[in-house]
Structure 1
Amino acid sequence: MRTTRSYLALALAFVLVLTGQSMALARTAPGPDGQIVLCTGTGPVAVLVDDQGQPIGPSHICPDCALSLFQALAETAPEIAAPTSWLRAHPIEFTLVFHSPAPRPAVARGPPQAA
């Protein structure tokens, strides 16, 4: 049992090292600047291109959102926990006090000196 856990820990560490590098590359990869739609005999095909118009290949799946694909493939919806207790809201009493500022004297500006 102990050797099985050791092998499992090593395998998980190895997978983490390999996928961590791929995640870093996918996060820093430049995105496409546009796409070119080619009309072929089997239907339209969109090709992603860079700023020079060269094809860049398929885009990577965002590693931050990749785990949400597991939820999309799940057979049942996630169970949302129901509230275990209710708290009564208490009203807040307050009064509004308005202060009017002292009137400021009017300050007019004359024309420029060197016009």
Structure 2
Amino acid sequence: MRPYLGFALCLMLAITSHSAAVARGAPGPAGQMVLCTGTGPVTVLVDAQGQPTGAVHICPDYALALFAALDSPAALPLYFANSTLLHTIEIKPEIEIFERPAFQARAPPLAS
């Protein structure tokens, strides 16, 4: 079983590394063209000569970052309180007014 597994992994690495190299070296689209069809607008990516380029390749360097979107939960769970008893809090505002200290003049610093 182990030799077959090793051979399968080597074959998969050879095939995927070639497609990753092609995706890195492929030129990106120069622009896009919006076609109004009977079913709605369709966006077609075009090159510098106006020829359709086809689908955009996913960047192989950041393809694994797509798995981070699957890690987060869709919604946070809701927690409800079990108690219906409400406690009231009485707030008594207390204002204290402090007197400002009187201004005191001081002499300039002494020259040494």
TM-score (norm 1): 0.59
User: 1:41 corresponds to which residue?
Assistant: 38
CA distance in 2, matches of 1:21, 1:14: 11
1:23 aligns with 2:34: no
| CA RMSD after TM alignment | 1.3
* 2:84 maps to 1:57: no
- The aligned amino acid for 2:44 is V
Q: Deviations over 1:51-97 (max 9, x none)?
A: 10010111111111111122222365xxxxxxxxxxxxxxxxxxxxx
Q: Which has the larger radius of gyration?
A: 2
Runs (4 or more) in structure 1 with deviation over 4 Å come to: none
| Partner SS state of residue 73, structure 1 | helix
Alignment-derived partner of residue 69 in structure 1: 66
Shift in Å at residue 7 of structure 1? 1.2
- Partners of 2:48 and 2:39 in 1: how far apart? 27
Please list every run of 5 or more consecutive structure 2 residues that lacks an aligned counterpart in the other structure: 74-112
Could you tell me which runs of 5 or more consecutive residues in structure 1 were left unpaired when the two chains were aligned. 77-115
